[in-house]
């Protein structure tokens, strides 16, 4: 029994891993997104969550991930609740859930501000995470709901980062809208040329969001 005591003491003093980032992935399912485009978003997200580099980083930093679908006023839904990624199996489970997600809304508007308002209180469920990030994916500008610029200010004051991915059909209209009206001062925007480019863009975006910035 004498030799076991130091081992037990050592285990009891081992610190728990801290959550580096809480990442809320917010997917636009408004009227401009057809069924094929929705499928590209869901499958692209699922593939990104299976990428070896993404999985390795999520496990290493104990990333918490959740997925919400959003559209018009009052149309927001948590499709995958917060999941702390502590091993590769959990990442695979979240990926499978993303691939099998049922579309939450159809034939509705684009209320970007309302989506962010809905998202902000969700971070109360993961209070130990050092960084809090909302990842907005959209193929359009807001046409309903609250003033997104005011909501962005609220997010900044709460210490929440908003990043965006603009899915473009022509030009950079959505990208510029996200850059000027939606993302926070510490946020960034990436562009997907058409929905078919979304899978590659969301993988790059997630990896950038969960990678530590070392100055």
CATH number assigned to the domain comprising residue 126: 3.40.50.410
Counting the structural domains of the chain, the total is: 1
Instruction: Judge whether 3 lies within some domain.
Output: no
Instruction: Judge whether 101 lies within some domain.
Output: yes
CA distance 98 to 50: 11
CA distance 5 to 22: 37
Instruction: Judge whether 7 lies within some domain.
Output: no
Domain that holds residue 35: 17-210
Give the model's pLDDT for residue 138: 94
Whether the CB-CB separation of 131 and 23 falls below 8 Å is answered with no
Instruction: Judge whether 157 lies within some domain.
Output: yes
Instruction: Judge whether 215 lies within some domain.
Output: no
Q: What is the pTM of this model?
A: 0.88
Q: Which of 174, 163, 181 is nearest to 24 (CA)?
A: 163
Instruction: Judge whether 5 lies within some domain.
Output: no
Give the model's pLDDT for residue 170: 83
Instruction: Judge whether 12 lies within some domain.
Output: no
**Looking at the DSSP assignment, which residues form a beta bridge with residue 43?**
none
Which stretches of the chain score pLDDT less than 70? 1-16, 212-215
Instruction: Judge whether 4 lies within some domain.
Output: no
Q: Is the dihedral of CA 209, 211, 212, 215 positive or negative?
A: negative
């Amino acid at each position: 029994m004498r030799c076991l005591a130091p081992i037990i003491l050592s285990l009891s003093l081992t610190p728990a891993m801290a959550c580096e980032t809480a990442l809320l992935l917010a997917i636009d399912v408004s009227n401009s997104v057809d069924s094929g485009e929705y499928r590209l978003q869901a499958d692209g997200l699922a593939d990104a969550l299976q990428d070896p580099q993404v999985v390795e980083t999520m496990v290493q930093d104990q990333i918490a991930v959740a997925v919400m679908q959003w559209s018009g006023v009052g149309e927001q839904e948590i499709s995958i609740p917060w999941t702390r990624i502590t091993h590769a199996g959990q990442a695979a489970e979240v990926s499978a859930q993303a691939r099998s997600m049922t579309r939450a809304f159809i034939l509705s508007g684009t209320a970007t501000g309302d989506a962010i308002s809905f998202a902000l209180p969700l971070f109360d469920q993961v209070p130990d995470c050092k960084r809090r990030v909302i990842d907005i994916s959209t193929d359009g500008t807001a046409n309903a709901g609250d003033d997104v610029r005011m909501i962005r200010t609220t997010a900044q004051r709460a210490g929440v980062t908003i990043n965006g991915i603009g899915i473009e059909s022509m030009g950079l209209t959505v990208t510029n809208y996200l850059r000027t009206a939606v993302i926070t001062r510490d946020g960034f925007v990436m562009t997907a040329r058409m929905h078919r480019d979304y899978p590659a863009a969301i993988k790059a975006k997630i990896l950038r969001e969960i990678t530590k910035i070392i100055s």
